[in-house]
Structure 1
C-alpha cells in the first residue's frame, strides 16, 4: 500500500508572520500555497499570480522566497500536480528573478555569492537603517521587529536571493526526473530550468546531452539546446550542438545557433558564419508565445546573442541587421535589435563617448539611416531611440543626424 504524502506538510510550522515579501509580512503565503492545489483552475491561476507578484516582485527575492520555493518543489513533484509547467516557470523566477536578464550570458552565481557575503557582513548597519526607517514610519512592536529581522528585504544579490536560488538548486536532482515526462511542455520547462544552475553542470549536462537523440518536440529540443549552451563547456557545446544548425525546423536551428553563440562568447573564439547568419535571420522571426524561453521573444534573444559575438560581425552583417530593423516582429524585439546594431557599429562607445557626427564610417552611416525612418514613423519610439543612441555615445537629435548624413557624415 502506497501512502499518499501531502506536498504541503509542515506548511504551518513555518513562522510566516516573521518573514516578508514585497508587500510586508508573509502571513498570507500559506493560503496562497494551498490554493495551488485547488481543483478550480481560476483559483490556482490567481494564487500563482499573487504569489509571484509578492515573493518575486520585479525579480527581487525576500526572506519568504526560499521557503516558498521548497514547498513549490513538493507541489511540482506531487503525482497529482496541476499546472506543473507554470509552477516550473515560477521556480525559475524564484531562483533567478527575471530570467531575461540572465540571457545569453547565464547566471553569474559566483558573483551573487560574493555580493551576498558582502551584504551579510553589513547586517548590523542594515539593521540600524531598518530601525531608523521603522521609527520614521511610526512602526512599533511586532511590526517594527518584523523589519529588524528582515534587513535584506528586496536587495539585489542578498542572502535572501542566494537562499531562494539554493532552495531550487538543492531540489534539482529530483526535478530532473521531469526530463522524462510524457508532456513536452514539462520537458521544455525543466530543461530550461536546468540551464540556470552552472554549479550543477557536472551532473546535469550529460542528462541534457542524452535528450538530443530522443527529444522529438521542437520546443523541448530548443530549450534543451539553449540550456546546454548556458552551462556546458564551449567544447562540449560545439561537439554536440553543431549538427542541429542544419535541422529542418527553424526554431531548432535558432536554438542551436543561440547555444553556439554562447559557447563562442565564453571561449572567445569565432562562432562561424552559419551561426551568425541564422541569428541575423532570426531577428525577424515571429514571436513564439508557447516557447518558455525569453517569453517567446525569438528576435530579441537572437539580437542579444549577436551582441555577445559582435566582435566577429562584419560590416556587411551590421548593414544586414540595419536593413531588418523596420521588419522586427515587435517593438520589444526591435528595441533589442537597435541596441545590437549600435553596439556593433559604434564599438566601445558609451554614454561618455560623445561620438562626433562629422566622421562617421560607412557602416555607421548605414546604421543611422536605418534608424531615421523608424524614429520618424513610430511615436512610441520617441523616448526609446534617443536613450538607445545615448547609450552608444550619440548625444544628438534626429535633425542633427539627418544633417550629418546629408553631407555624408563629414563636416
Structure 2
C-alpha cells in the first residue's frame, strides 16, 4: 500500500508570523489551512471564507498569499480532500485576484511581471516610506519589523502578486490531471483555472483541445471553450470552437461565441454573424452562479465580448442591444451592456470628447432614447448612468438629452 503524502507537510516550517495578509500578521493562516481538512462542512466553509477575505482581500495578494497557494494546490491534489471545486476557485483567486477583471482579454502576465519588477526596484524607497509610517504610528518591536519586512502590502501588482501567481502555475502540470476527473464540476473549475496561465499554453492547449472532443457536461464544456479562447491562437480557436455555435445548449453556444470573439479581437478579423447574434442574445441570459466564470454573469461577459468586437457591429445590432437594456438580469450586467452599446454607437469618443447633441446620428438617437427611461427609474446619486455617458463623451444632463431627442439630430 502506498503511503499518502500529507498535503500540509511543512506548514509549521513557514514563518507565518513574519508574513502578512489584509489584516496584519498571518499567524492565523496555519489553523485555517488545517480546518480545510475538517470533516465538518461548516468548519471548512468558515476557514475558506476567512482565508479568502485575508489573503485575497478585494483581489489583492500579500506576502502570505504565495505560501497559501502552494498548500491549497496540494490540498486540491490530495485524494481525500473535500470541497475540491471550491479550493480550485480559491486557487484561481490566489493566482489572479478578481477574475472578472481578467476577462475577456485574459491575464496580462507580461505586464504584471514588468510592473512587479518596477516595484521591486523601488523596494528601498518603499521600506523608507514604511519606516516613516511606522514611526508616525508609534510602531515598535516586532510589529514595526513586520511592516518593514513587507513593503508591498496593498499594492495592486507587486512581487507578492507574481509569487502567488507562480505558485499556482508551478502546480499546473499536476492539476491538469483533474481534466479527467469523474466529477464534472472539478473538470469545469480546473479547465477555467488553466485558462489563466497563457505562459503555459504550449503544454496546456493540447489538453484543452482534447477535452473539446470528449467533454459532454454543459458547464465543463463551456469552461473548456472559454479556456481555449484565452490560450490558443485565433486560427486554432476558429478551427475547434466554431462547430459548437450550433450546439443545442445556449450556454455552450455562448462559450463558443465568447472564444471566437476573443480570437476575432486578437486577430482583427470579422467574428462572423453567428458569433455576434449569439452574444447579443446572451446579453439577457439569466445568471448562472454555478458556472463560476465571471461569477456566472453571462450577460455581463457577453457585453464585454461584444465591446471587444464592436467594430463589426452594425447599426441594427446596436439598436437591438439598446432595446435589451431593460431585460438584463441585473444592474451589473446592464452597466456592462451600456458600456458596450455606447462604445459602439459613439466610436472614438471618451471623457475628453464632447458629443454635440444637435448632430446625433439616428442610431445614437435610438441608443439615448433607450437609456432615458432607465435613467429615470435609476434617478439616484448612486446611478452609474451619468458616469457611463461621460466616459463616452456625453457630459450632459438628462433634460438636455430629452430636449435633443425632441428636436432631433441630423444624420
TM class by shorter chain equals over 0.9
Is 2:128 aligned against 1:128?
Answer: yes
Find the aligned partners of 2:160 and 2:85 in 1 and give their Cα distance.
25
CA contact (8 A) 1:303 1:340 kept: yes
CA contact (8 A) 1:375 1:382 kept: no
Is 2:69 aligned against 1:87?
Answer: no
Find the aligned partners of 1:377 and 1:229 in 2 and give their Cα distance.
37
Residue in 2 that maps onto 1:226: 226
Deviation by residue 1:80-107 (Cα, 9 ceiling, x = unmatched): 0110000000000000000000000000
* CA RMSD of superposed structures (Å): 1.1
Instruction: Tell me the secondary structure at the aligned position of residue 9 of structure 1.
Output: coil
Find the aligned partners of 2:325 and 2:383 in 1 and give their Cα distance.
17
Instruction: Tell me the secondary structure at the aligned position of residue 155 of structure 2.
Output: coil
Residue in 2 that maps onto 1:398: 398
Find the aligned partners of 1:355 and 1:142 in 2 and give their Cα distance.
57
Shift in Å, 1:382: 5.3
Residue in 2 that maps onto 1:264: 264
Deviation by residue 1:6-38 (Cα, 9 ceiling, x = unmatched): 111110000000000000000110011001001
Instruction: Tell me the secondary structure at the aligned position of residue 38 of structure 1.
Output: coil
The structure-2 alpha-carbon separation of the partners of 1:255 and 1:381, relative to structure 1 and needing over 3 Å to count, comes to farther
Moved over 6 A (4+): none
Equivalence map 1:18-33=2 (5 Å): 18-33=18-33
Deviation by residue 1:204-254 (Cα, 9 ceiling, x = unmatched): 000000011111100000000000000100110001000000011111000
The structure-2 alpha-carbon separation of the partners of 1:73 and 1:382, relative to structure 1 and needing over 3 Å to count, comes to closer
Shift in Å, 1:355: 1.3
Residue in 1 that maps onto 2:292: 292
Shift in Å, 1:409: 2.6
Residue in 2 that maps onto 1:137: 137
Shift in Å, 1:385: 0.6
Deviation by residue 1:308-362 (Cα, 9 ceiling, x = unmatched): 0001111111011001111111111111101110010111111111212111111
Find the aligned partners of 1:380 and 1:396 in 2 and give their Cα distance.
16
Equivalence map 1:145-224=2 (5 Å): 145-224=145-224
Residue in 2 that maps onto 1:321: 321
Find the aligned partners of 2:392 and 2:139 in 1 and give their Cα distance.
46
TM-score, reference length from structure 2: 0.99
Instruction: Tell me the secondary structure at the aligned position of residue 264 of structure 1.
Output: helix
Extract unaligned runs of 5+ from structure 2: none
Residue in 2 that maps onto 1:370: 370
Shift in Å, 1:5: 1.5
Find the aligned partners of 1:135 and 1:104 in 2 and give their Cα distance.
44
Find the aligned partners of 1:381 and 1:249 in 2 and give their Cα distance.
40
CA contact (8 A) 1:349 1:392 kept: yes
Shift in Å, 1:379: 4.3
Is 2:331 aligned against 1:331?
Answer: yes
Find the aligned partners of 1:108 and 1:311 in 2 and give their Cα distance.
23
Find the aligned partners of 2:360 and 2:141 in 1 and give their Cα distance.
64
Instruction: Tell me the secondary structure at the aligned position of residue 212 of structure 1.
Output: helix
Deviates more, 1:353-362 or 1:15-24: 353-362
Aligned residues: 411
Residue in 1 that maps onto 2:250: 250
Instruction: Tell me the secondary structure at the aligned position of residue 358 of structure 1.
Output: helix
Find the aligned partners of 1:6 and 1:161 in 2 and give their Cα distance.
26
The structure-2 alpha-carbon separation of the partners of 1:67 and 1:367, relative to structure 1 and needing over 3 Å to count, comes to same
Find the aligned partners of 2:338 and 2:58 in 1 and give their Cα distance.
24
Instruction: Tell me the secondary structure at the aligned position of residue 368 of structure 1.
Output: helix
Find the aligned partners of 1:165 and 1:154 in 2 and give their Cα distance.
16
